[in-house]
Chains A and B, each alone.
Chain A
Amino acid sequence: MTIEDLQLQADHVLQQLSAEPTSDVSELRTRYLGKKGLFNQLAKVIGQIDPADRKTAGAILNQTKASIEEIIARLTAAGEHQALDWADLTLPGKKPPIGYVHPVSQAMAEITQIFERIGFVRVRYPEVDWDWYVFESLNMPPNHPARDEWETFFVDAPKHPEKGNMVLTTHTSNGQVREMERLGSTPPIRMINIARCYRRQQDATHTQMFHQFEGLVVDKGITIQHLKGTLDYFAKEFYGPEVKSRIRPFHFQFTEPSFEVDFSCHICHGTGKIENEKCKFCKSGWHEVGGAGMVHPNVLKAGGIDPEVYTGFAFGWGVERTYTLKPGLNIDDIRLLYSGELGFLEQF
């Protein structure tokens, strides 16, 4: 008998086994692997093989036996499977106790990712800072009426000889000149600064502490078109592809021109109406989210950048405001965010 013949016979045994009905596995085991079983009958022929080929024949036989064992083991397992106890697969899962990432953290993470995808670098700057960075370098000299809008907390500490009072940052815009300084007044700048801010006010829509995110882009050839493009991109990424942005005139001392930024309402799609009734969520078709503008030449100068060569844009919005405009997050009292109210936090 040749090796080839042996291989044929071995294959035949395996094929036969595969075609067996699976009702009685133990009977199969005896019939194939028992003393007088098919495998042992096959193994007897080794005496008829040319001694030079016996090593190969041994390998074929080993392989065949392993395959038979594997098939029988599989059939055994399948048989056991059929014999499992009844189980209720609809039982609710047993959950480990977990906590929840705070909604503000979730919002900041999402905002960060959106801006990082278009090359913004996230930074962090002091939350207790000098008047110079918070106001004066932003084209707001002391006692300027524009400062009235920033209800400022002052820290009881000595004034800096050049940089003035120590204040709690009223906005993330203190990062603008600081970022220009960090980069040695050398654009390109694409900064996103997300931080705690503080204003001296407290009601259902204002908390003494809140969060802002500030974008700053400075380079040669930066125009209003880039600001509009960035706003549109953010609106679609954060609220959904059907949401649009628009800019309207406003005034900030540190940008010129300055804009108010609106995003179209995701409920009435910017029309202000639902079936001829005023949209109750937005009332006008649009939600105001915050300010933006082209960086004022004086701010670039304060950061050591030549406004004749470079232009830039900046925007700064409240994280809480921006986040709660998402569908389903119409939170009527933002003080809840900082209340440690578990019933609220565990919804996020």
Chain B
Amino acid sequence: MNIFIPHHWLLEHLETNATSEEIQRLLSLSGPSVERVETKEGESVYDIEVTTNRVDSLSVRGIAREAAVILQQAGIGAQLRAQNIPEIPAPQESTLPLPQIENDPRLCRRITFVILDHIKHTPTPEWMAKRLRQIDQNIHDSAIDITNYITHELGHPCHAFDYDKIMQLGGLIKVVEAPAGKKLTTLDGVEYATVGGEVVFVNADGDIIDLPAIKGTANTAVDDSTSRIMLWIESIVAEKVRFGSMTHAIRTVAAQLNEKHVDPNLAPAVLQRGVQLYQELCDASIASEVYDDFPSPISPAPISLSTKQVEQYLGISLDQDTITKILQALECQVEWTDDSTFRVTPPTFRPDLTIPADIIEELARIYGYHNIPAKIMDTPLPLNRPADSTFQLELHIKEWLTMLGWQELYTYSMVSETQALASGFTVDEHLRLQNPLTDDKVYLRRNLIPSLSEVLDNNSQRPGLSVFEIAYVYHPDSGALPKQELQLCLVGQKPLREMMGDVEVVLRRLFLKSRIHQESDTLGTLLVSTDGTDWTKCGVLSRLSNTRSALTIELTQLLSQARRHPNYKPLPKQPALSESLTFTVPKKTMVGPLIASIQAADPLIDSVHFEGSYQDNVTFAISYLHPDQPLSSKDIEPIRKNIVTLVESEYGGILVGTLS
């Protein structure tokens, strides 16, 4: 959460000669990060990111407290100024009766308030208005703006009730958990119905008269006619504040502070400061004693730790004096139990300090992270790699494909309903996001083809464009996490033979042979093998149109077959004998199986290559090789005869020419 701190407001709480640049730099190095320093109305305003655990720093005073310690440590004079807020005096004239308070200490840790009478609705004075503008707050009038001002200054939210409205509603404030379905209207006129479990204030009739710690309700809020104010501070249990605020999406400054365990011990100072300002600016008179119900103040638990633990984190040792000095500057109590162990009791405004590591963090950041040396680990290396460590091969595949003319893409894992349907699965067969941000990213995809096709559609001026992506697709698995399949998908607009040639080259680099088993005119199965005998299904080839085809490969499966090196075969002692055979085959004869059949016809056939086709004729280059002996044309005569018979009987193909 970011907070704006005007420089001169800060200096009311911090005595220092540090420049705003020094404050920005040093605070950022050892405390909250000052993201930028803006000039607003002629003055530096710090924009500071305060982390969720440091609600104590979400105020001018909180930042001043941090800055005092950090600047001092850096050798720049700095001191937190004392808070000279006058005590709230006794009621001046006649007192007004207090409303009846029925607290539930399980829900609210503290309630304190005072009644102020004769409120004048004066315009907010320029000095206050300027500061509120600098911190991006709207200006109303003094009676309202004082509460915002002191919240920002001291860090505990407070609220101004219209006293007369409270009394007209029965004069009872009861702290309860709301039942479901109760109506309330916030002070800005928005209506809500409770879901049950929010902490609310109700009157005797059970009507909601405030949504405490989050936002006031219209029926008790200050308006232009208000002349009596109940300046009120409550400390609702943080988890309850968060529940109410998140449930109704009411994210006021008050809610964002109160949900982070604001220290209830801050309340008296805030009340005093409020009274001071109402007296000064609205001419208020005090019309009651201060009511304060704080049944069980929480004392922070002491944390024990040792200098050895400090060293375990920092790698250097800090001496007793340094440790004590730093922690005391942070308002912790330090008690040494012996030379090396000590007990730290944090101040009440630091509920984030609960374990030794928290204390070590305080020591390290104030000591200065830049004062700790840097070195690489000299500890043992892990040797236990996961089985699926194929990252390098994946990178190689990407590099090979790009060199063959394929563009790599990254597309979103979430797809639209149209894309989900285009994947070959029904919409219901997809995992769906409960809370998608946009309509085009709703389903977890099961196939990369639609995403890649969309990119090709969007680049229609590049007719030859061919693209690929390696990404997970997500297959639902009842009751379990989805099965994540690492998919390599190619969508190409090259001629199909060229595309498959590219794929064969890549597979060759992985020492894999491949073939396609044709299922239909548009669909084929990719099979791969290391030795040409055992074939494993690894993917699907689909023709998307006459000019576009897609190949999806289950990459993990493929890479489990891949090899890093070949099975070396001794070089042949004799040259191979080669010849071309041309066959006239019936239309739609599939060449792939034909090659496989010829190859399998005789062990002396070393290779069969497709040389080309013309009309119904296909030509193969066949190479014969005997491992030890030279082959003569006579030796291969019977093999050639076999081939011709086989092609004729299994495929109806007729040899062009005659057998010699």
**A: which residues have CB within 8 A of B?**
96-102, 104-105, 109, 112, 118-119, 121-124, 126-130, 143, 145-146, 148-149, 153-158, 160, 166, 168, 182-183, 187-190, 196, 198, 200-202, 208-209, 217, 219-226, 228-233, 246-251, 256-260, 283, 294, 296-297, 311, 337-338, 340, 342, 345-346
Surface stretch bound by A, among B2-10, B124-132, B219-227, B365-373: B365-373
By a CB distance below 8 angstroms, the chain B residues around A246 are: 29, 369-370
Which 3 A-B residue pairs are closest in the complex by CB-CB distance?
A251-B51, A257-B361, A340-B455
Q: Which chain B residue has the least Cβ–Cβ distance from A109?
A: B395
Q: A97-B405, A188-B381 are known contacts. Are A156 and B431 too (CB-CB below 8 A)?
A: yes
Known: A122-B391, A145-B242, A155-B444. A202 touches B437 (CB 8 A): yes
Chain A, Cβ-Cβ closest to B434: A154
A230 to B414, CA, bound (A): 35
Contact A260 B33 (CB under 8 A): yes
CB-CB < 8 A to B412: which residues of A?
208-209, 338
Residues of chain A with a CB closer than 8 A to B408's CB: 99-102, 105, 345
B355 and A249 within 8 A (CB): no
Report the minimum CB–CB distance from A120 to chain B (whole Å). Answer: 8
Whether the pair B357, A219 counts as a contact (CB closer than 8 A) is no
Q: Give the nearest-CB partner of B360 in chain A.
A: A257
Chain B proximity of A83: nearest CB distance (Å): 36
Of A100, A143, A221, A257, the most chain B CB neighbours within 10 A belong to: A257
Q: Which residues of A contact B246 (CB under 8 A)?
A: 143
Distance in Å from the Cβ of B33 to the closest Cβ of chain A? 6
Could you tell me if B410 and A337 are in contact, using CB atoms closer than 8 angstroms?
Answer: yes
Total interface residues in chain B, CB < 8 Å: 93
Cβ contacts under 8 Å, B402 to chain A: 98-101
Q: Cβ of B315 and Cβ of A224 under 8 Å apart?
A: yes
Contacts A128-B484, A223-B314 known; A228 to B459 CB distance under 8 Å?
no
B 95-107 binary contact with A (CB < 8 Å = 1; else 0): 0000000000000
Q: Does B13 contact A (CB under 8 A)?
A: no
Q: Are A257 and B376 in contact (CB under 8 A)?
A: no
Whole-angstrom distance between the Cβ of B304 and the nearest chain A Cβ = 13
Whether A340 lies near B355 (C-beta < 8 A) is no
- A154 and B433 contact, Cβ closer than 8 Å, known pairs A99-B466, A256-B355, A294-B313: yes
Contact B433 A127 (CB under 8 A): no
A248 contacts which of B242, B369, B377, B471 (Cβ < 8 Å)? Answer: B369
Q: Could you tell me the distance in whole angstroms from the C-beta of A63 to the nearest C-beta in chain B?
A: 28
Bound-state Cα–Cα, A47 to B441, Å: 96
Are B398 and A225 in contact, CB atoms less than 8 angstroms apart? no
The answer to whether A156 touches B432 (Cβ under 8 A) is yes
Q: Is the CB of A146 within 8 A of B52?
A: yes
Give every chain A residue within 8 A of B571 (Cβ-Cβ).
none
Contact B376 A230 (CB under 8 A): yes
B43 at interface by CB-CB < 8 Å: no
Q: Shortest CB–CB separation between residue A177 and chain B, in angstroms? A: 15
* Interface assignment of B380: CB less than 8 Å from any CB of chain A: yes
User: Which of chain B's residues have a CB closer than 8 A to the CB of A258?
Assistant: 51, 361
Q: How close is B307's CB to chain A, nearest CB, in angstroms? A: 14
Smallest Cβ distance from B406 to chain A, in angstroms? 4
Task: Flag if A250 contacts B51 (CB, 8 Å).
Answer: yes
Report the Cα distance A217→B375, complex, angstroms: 14
Residue ID in chain A nearest B436 by CB atoms: A153
Other A-B pairs, 16, CB within 8 Å; known A99-B406, A153-B434, A219-B379: A97-B464, A99-B402, A119-B377, A123-B386, A127-B484, A153-B436, A158-B479, A189-B382, A190-B377, A196-B472, A222-B379, A228-B374, A249-B33, A257-B365, A340-B454, A345-B407
Contact: B376 with A229, CB < 8 Å?
yes
State in angstroms the CA–CA spacing of A188 and B381 once bound together. 7
- With the chains together, A247 CA to B406 CA distance in Å? 41
Query: Whole-angstrom distance between the alpha carbons of A126 and B444 in the complex?
Result: 13
When the two chains form their complex, are residues B381 and A119 in contact, meaning their CB atoms are under 8 A apart?
yes
Instruction: Give the distance in Å from the alpha carbon of A101 to the alpha carbon of B468 in the complex.
Output: 10
**Contact of A100 with B407 in the complex, beta carbons under 8 Å:** yes
- B residues 380-403 near A (Cβ < 8 Å) are 380-382, 384-386, 388-389, 391, 395, 398-399, 401-403
Instruction: With both chains docked as a complex, state the minimum distance between the C-beta of A205 and any C-beta of chain B, in angstroms.
Output: 14
Q: Is the CB of B474 within 8 A of A128?
A: yes
* Minimum CB–CB distance for A217 against chain B, Å: 6
Give 27 pairs: A residue, B residue, CB < 8 Å, sorted on A: A101-B408, A105-B398, A124-B386, A127-B484, A128-B431, A129-B481, A143-B242, A155-B431, A183-B382, A188-B379, A208-B412, A219-B377, A220-B379, A222-B377, A224-B369, A225-B316, A229-B376, A230-B377, A231-B374, A232-B374, A249-B30, A249-B365, A251-B51, A251-B52, A256-B355, A257-B313, A340-B458
User: Given contacts A190-B381, A202-B438, is CB(A112)–CB(B315) below 8 Å?
Assistant: no
Q: Chain B residues with Cβ under 8 A from A118's Cβ?
A: 376-377
What's the Cα separation between A297 and B437 when bound, in Å? 35
A303 to B140, CA, bound (A): 53
Inter-subunit contact B401/A99 (CB<8 Å): yes
- Asked if B364 is at the interface of the complex by the 8 Å CB criterion, the answer is yes
Q: Is B174 an interface residue (CB 8 A)?
A: no
Complex Cα distance, B385 from A145, in Å, reads 36
Task: Find chain A residues with CB under 8 A from B413 CB.
Answer: 127, 196, 198, 209
Are B375's CB and A229's CB within 8 A? Answer: yes
B465 contacts partner chain A, Cβ-Cβ < 8 Å = yes
CA distance A306 to B312 in the complex (A): 14
Residues from chain A with a CB closer than 8 A to the CB of B32 are 249
Residue B273 is within 8 A (CB to CB) of chain A in the complex: no
Report the nearest B residue to A183, measured CB to CB. B384
Interchain nearest-CB distance for A60 vs B (Å): 32
- Report which of B28, B313, B404, B434 forms a contact with A223, defined as CB distance below 8 A: B313
* Chain B residue nearest to A223 in the complex (CB): B315
Task: Find the A residue at minimum CB distance from B370.
Answer: A246
Given contacts A127-B484, A156-B432, A340-B458, contact A101 B398 (CB under 8 A): yes
Q: Could you mark each residue 466-490 of chain B with 1 if its beta carbon is under 8 Å from any beta carbon of chain A, else 0?
A: 1110011010100101101000000
Tell me, yes or no, whether B546 is within 8 Å of chain A by CB. Answer: no
Q: Does B611 contact A (CB under 8 A)?
A: no
What is the CB-to-nearest-CB distance from B353 to chain A, in angstroms, rounded to a whole number?
Answer: 11
Q: CB within 8 A of B369: which of A128, A189, A247? A: A247
Query: In the bound complex, what is the Cα–Cα distance between A97 and B481 (angstroms)?
Result: 41
| Cβ–Cβ contact B409 & A340, under 8 A | yes
Contact across chains for B414 and A105 when beta carbons are under 8 A apart: no
B355: A residues at CB distance < 8 A:
256, 297
Min CB–CB distance A271 → chain B (angstroms):
12
A258: shortest Cβ distance to chain B, in Å? Answer: 8
Specify the chain A residue showing the minimal Cβ separation from B432.
Answer: A156
> What's the nearest-Cβ distance from chain A to residue B439, in Å?
12
Rounded to whole Å, the gap between the CB of B100 and the closest CB of chain A is 33
Residues on the B chain within 8 Å of A200, using CB:
435, 437
Q: Within the assembled complex, what's the spacing in Å between the Cα atoms of A56 and B434?
A: 94
Assuming the contacts A228-B373, A249-B365, A342-B465, asked whether A102 and B379 have C-beta atoms less than 8 A apart, the reply is no
Is there contact, CB below 8 Å, between B260 and A145?
Answer: yes
Q: B191 to chain A: which residues have CB within 8 Å?
A: none
Chain B neighbourhood of A222, CB < 8 A: 377, 379
Interface residues of B in 310-364 (CB under 8 A from A): 312-316, 352, 355, 357-358, 360-361, 364
B481 touches A126 (CB 8 A): yes
Task: Give B15-54 as 1s and 0s: 1 = Cβ < 8 Å from A's Cβ atoms.
Answer: 0000000000000111111001000000000000001111
Contacts of A250 in B (CB 8 A): 33, 51
On whether the beta carbons of A105 and B395 are closer than 8 Å, the reply is: yes
Q: Is B243 an interface residue (CB 8 A)?
A: yes
The answer to whether B259 has its CB under 8 Å from any CB of chain A is yes
**Of residues A127, A187, A283, A311, which shows the largest number of chain B Cβ atoms within 10 Å of its Cβ?**
A127
Which partner residue on chain B sits nearest A200 by CB separation?
A: B437
Q: Closest residue to A161 on the B side, CB-wise?
A: B479
B481:A96 contact, CB within 8 angstroms: no
A257 touches B406 (CB 8 A): no
B637: shortest Cβ distance to chain A, in Å? Answer: 41
A246-B371 Cα distance, complex, nearest whole Å: 11
Quote the shortest CB–CB distance from A251 to chain B (angstroms). 3
* Complex CA distance for A112 and B407, rounded to whole angstroms: 22
